[in-house]
Structure 1
């Protein structure tokens, strides 16, 4: 089975869309970055390096320094699919991020978006 094309898409090419989605609803780039950092463990310098290197989604998530264990608390539907039911690990990570950005854009408080055990 062929991989979905999102796997080979550079994260840097989609990142501005995440930021724009948040900003369109009055949220900030800093909040988007905070969500990405919480989910992946990238610090600001590491994250900028990933953007500059045009790292694809698959590598972005497989090389993430510290995927947050609380990410499994993310539940809900993205693109018509329940994120908790996605079996493919990388696609699940991508959809976790999509879900968090959706929550940000819907006005959910950042401390509620960043789930804790």
Structure 2
């Protein structure tokens, strides 16, 4: 999970993941989408994503094709969802407590 989170911390790598989310994309096309970055730098980003398990790489001759591996983010997504649901639960309880106080209802302990 740590490698995946470190990999997606970079905005260029996140943009690459969006590019390869729905289809396999050749490395040259990916590099072409980032004219402000050198091809070796794009290659390094792709290697980082592959090492983190976030993209699959298919070689065809001297070409490389990249595609998102959604399962590479599964552990991180599970962690983030657990954090989010905990926060939402607290928010819901606080909102319900405030609503009871506003309407004059008492909670189970007999207080507002």
Same fold (TM over 0.5): no
Larger radius of gyration: 2
Point out the structure with the larger strand share: 2
Q: Normalized against structure 2, the TM-score is what? A: 0.26
* TM-score, normalization by structure 1: 0.25
Higher relative contact order, structure no. (Cα contacts within 8 Å, ≥ 6 residues apart): 1
